[in-house]
Structure 1
Amino acid sequence: MTISRANQVWALDTTYIPLAKGFAYLTAVVDRATRKVLAGKVAITLEASHAVDMLEQAFKCYGRSDIINTEQCSQFNAKAFVDAVKGLGCLLSMNGRGAWRDNVSLSGYGDRSNTSGFTCMPTIPSAKPTLQSWIISSGTTTNDRIPV
């Protein structure tokens, strides 16, 4: 399948952000055609509700995607997430278990996805300026902000 236009395929991915003591999760929605981060959230738990919230935020701001692509992990296999995708009228596509392309959306986002700058940050609030800088450099506009 050739992805040739915005809102054709959105990918949701979750990656972890190492902090000085522990880590946090960044869940983001990325348009596969434009590679723009459409929505995202940093949280200390890995739950389907975060993915549902980000999907709904992206729909509110950017319209409807034809296909939602995710990896196979608990937050994306959860009934709440699957029902939300179907309820929004999208097809759900999941990468194969253990597929090389898992984490391509955020972890494979080029140098911008390198979260090593967070490792000396003691807490999520102290990492906020670094995170906002990363989000802006990833293609969002200065009016788009990811809640932390």
Structure 2
Amino acid sequence: MRLLDEEFTQHNFKGVLGLRDHLRLAGHAVNEKRVRRLVRRMGHEPIYPKPRLSVPGQGITSYPYLLRERPATAPNEVWSTNITYVPMVKGFLYLAAVLDWYPRYVLSWQLSNTLDMGFCLQALADALRVAPAPHIFNSDQGSQFTSPAYEQALLQAGCRISRDGRGRVTGNAFIERRWRTVKWEHIYLNPADDGRHLHQQLHAYFGYYNQRRPHQSLGGQTPAHVYRMSPTFKHNHIWRWSKWG
């Protein structure tokens, strides 16, 4: 799974067959069925236009993608969220984060050992405690984000809901790039021993990422510097951890 995650993170346009061939070239005798099962277990989905092979399940409210030609121009206009698989020396965890699009600022994050909805809701609640609700909140169509509880939390906060369309390139490209950054700059270089160690590492890394890592897209400034330009900035950032706190 570690090899799959590294290849997927670096070249996430690859589908199951491409990942299978990558493992075979590395000397691993795997078939398409096994690779597909592992990819699903990790919660990965390649980022490229795909045919519409399925439709949302019954009871799921349909929301349009609102960001096709609407770039964010200030903090707290657009937030997005996503989940990624994080390998450790032994085992793995899932990481969910909420990102402000304009300053690339990581507002909150949570770890979980399952793909349940609870840690995603907690990350959302943490973000809403440190900043006003955004005008638009974007996500993919994962079951965690299309659940009635998650949807109601967004609507009660006053957000307009935006969702990536099935069979289209993801609108969450910013947060996908953040996953690549944190993995290649930190996680793969310093694999965590366990969940507690991983939390300590991510706490330190996201502090560095927000406060000290400059971005070319921000004119060489850090996410925190740009975010502080917003009159709504608060100095009570919350880094909560529900699983091993």
Shorter-chain TM-score tier: 0.7 to 0.9
Q: For residues 112-131 of structure 1, what are the structure 2 equivalents within 5 Å?
A: 112-114=182-184, 115-117=187-189, 120-131=191-202
Counterpart for residue 51 of structure 1: 120
Structure number with higher relative contact order (C-alpha < 8 Å, ≥ 6 residues apart) = 1
Change (3 A) 1:63 1:95: same
Question: Match for 1:111: what amino acid?
Answer: T
**Residues 81-110 of structure 1 deviation map (CA, whole Å, 9 limit, x = unaligned):** 111111111111011224332653433126
Q: Is the 8 A contact 1:24 1:43 kept in 2?
A: yes
The question of 1:60 aligning with 2:129 is answered yes
Residue 147 (structure 1) aligned with residue 240 (structure 2)? yes
Question: Gaps (5+ residues) in structure 2?
Answer: 1-69, 212-223, 225-234
Shift of 1:28: 0.6
Q: Give the Cα–Cα distance (whole angstroms) in 1 for the partners of residues 174 and 115 of structure 2.
A: 17
Cα separation, partners in 2 of 1:146 and 1:62, compared to 1, 3 Å: same
- Higher Cα Rg: structure 1 or 2? 2
- Per mean C-alpha deviation after superposition, the further-off stretch among 136-145 and 16-25 is 136-145
Aligned with residue 22 of structure 1, among 84, 91, 108: 91
Q: Identify the residue that residue 143 of structure 2 maps to in structure 1.
A: 74
Residue segments in structure 1 that go unaligned for 5+ positions in a row: none
Q: 1:101 to 1:11 in 2, by over 3 A?
A: same
Question: What are the within-5 Å matches in structure 2 for residues 105-116 of structure 1?
Answer: 105-109=174-178, 111-114=181-184, 115-116=187-188
Deviation, 1:133, is 2.4
Q: What's the TM-score, normalizing by structure 2?
A: 0.54
Q: Shift of residue 37 of structure 1?
A: 0.4
Cα separation, 2, equivalents of 1:137 and 1:112: 11
Percent of residue pairs bearing the same amino acid type: 26
Alpha-carbon spacing, 1:84–1:143, altered in 2? closer, same or farther (3 Å): closer
After TM superposition, the runs of 4+ consecutive aligned structure 1 residues lying more than 6 A away are none
Structure with the higher fraction of residues in helix conformation: 2
Specify whether residues 145 and 113 from structure 1 end up closer, same or farther in structure 2 by C-alpha distance, changes over 3 A only. Answer: farther
Contact kept, 8 Å, 2:130 with 2:236, in 1: the verdict is no
CA RMSD, 1 decimal? 2.3
Deviation at 1:112, TM superposition (A): 3.4
Q: Distance in 2 between matches of 1:9 and 1:89?
A: 12
TM-score normalised by structure 1 residue count = 0.85
Structure 1: distance between partners of 2:125 and 2:210: 20
Aligned residue type for 1:116: Y
Contact 2:84–2:96 (Cα < 8 Å) also in 1: yes
Moved more, 55-64 or 109-118: 109-118
The answer on whether the counterparts of 1:14 and 1:103 sit within 8 Å (CA) in structure 2 is no
Specify whether residues 102 and 43 from structure 1 end up closer, same or farther in structure 2 by C-alpha distance, changes over 3 A only. Answer: farther
Judged with a 3 Å threshold, the aligned counterparts in structure 2 of structure 1 residues 21 and 102 are, in CA distance, closer, same or farther, namely farther
- Larger strand fraction of residues: 1
